[in-house]
Structure 1
Amino acid sequence: MDLDLALRVDFPPPLTDKSTSDEKKDIERWEKSNRMSMMIMKKAIPEAFRGTMFDKITTAKEFLVDIEKRFLRNEKVEIGTLLTSLISMRNRGKGNIKEYILEMSHLASKWKGLKLELSEDLLEEERLKQDKA
């Protein structure tokens, strides 16, 4: 069915008087693929992610690029939130150390999920803060 044709191939050149029947078929296949891809994405992706730009975007490839940009912005916010949580987190001696370790492990796994690494300087600074507390 070539549903992903519109995602793999750029829009074919416009038809001219000298266009062959194969070129016309290619354009028809591409347009059908684009329509089907857009329809599937419109139904599958929640409206909160689609936003108002969806009406202005005409190709499936443009739509995916726009969605990717939105997630990159959200990833930066998530990185900031995780870093703030990691830096401000400390065991105050009142709670269970096991819960503290589990929470730290959870933050570390989220951090690794974003494919980020913490520098040794930052970790050492955090250890010194913990020792003082």
Structure 2
Amino acid sequence: MLFIFYSALNPSVISGLLNSIEALNGTNFPTWKEQISINLGVMDLDYALREKAPVPLSSNDENLAEKTKVYEANKEKWERSNRLSLMIMKSSITLGIRGAIPDSECSKTYLASV
């Protein structure tokens, strides 16, 4: 079932989703935020908005090798989600408003600043 969902997200579907986001213009924040949330969720890119960045492991953790694999997978997923979420949010904000928003490397922080 999951395979079918992901296979449906071909480039034209992704393009359609991104084009459906109304640009934030200063008067439509609730609509913009809802569209951003829905689209990032559908594309499974909202992970960085829902979860905190993974905390690096300490060298004295038990089962370090096993925990390292889990940490690396979570870190990669969080970083990808964060990077793409930021790109999508920033590209859907008009230039005049984007310049007034403090830049951030964290999508959750950036969204809170909007």
Normalising to structure 2: TM-score of the pair?
A: 0.51
Q: Distance in 1 between matches of 2:84 and 2:44?
A: 10
Q: For 1:58, what is the secondary structure of its paired residue?
A: coil
| Residues 1:14 and 2:74 aligned together | no
Kept after mapping to 2: 8 A contact 1:15/1:24: no
Q: Distance in 2 between matches of 1:13 and 1:43?
A: 29
2:109 aligned partner, one-letter code: E
Q: Distance in 2 between matches of 1:37 and 1:46?
A: 16
Aligned counterpart, 2:112 = 65
What RMSD in Å do the two structures reach over aligned CA positions? 1.7
1:42 aligned partner, one-letter code: K
Classify 1:15/1:36 alpha carbon distance in 2 versus 1 (closer, same or farther; 3 Å).
farther
Aligned residues: 65
1:5 aligned to which of 47, 69, 92: 47
Structure 1 runs (4+) greater than 4 angstroms displaced: none
List runs of 5+ in structure 1 lacking aligned partners: 68-133
Q: Distance in 1 between matches of 2:57 and 2:99?
A: 33
Normalising to structure 1: TM-score of the pair?
A: 0.44
Name the structure, 1 or 2, with higher relative contact order (CA <8 Å, separation 6+). Answer: 2
Identity between Structure 1 and Structure 2 (%): 42
| Residues 1:28 and 2:70 aligned together | no
Larger relative helix fraction: 1
2:76 aligned partner, one-letter code: E
List runs of 5+ in structure 2 lacking aligned partners: 1-42
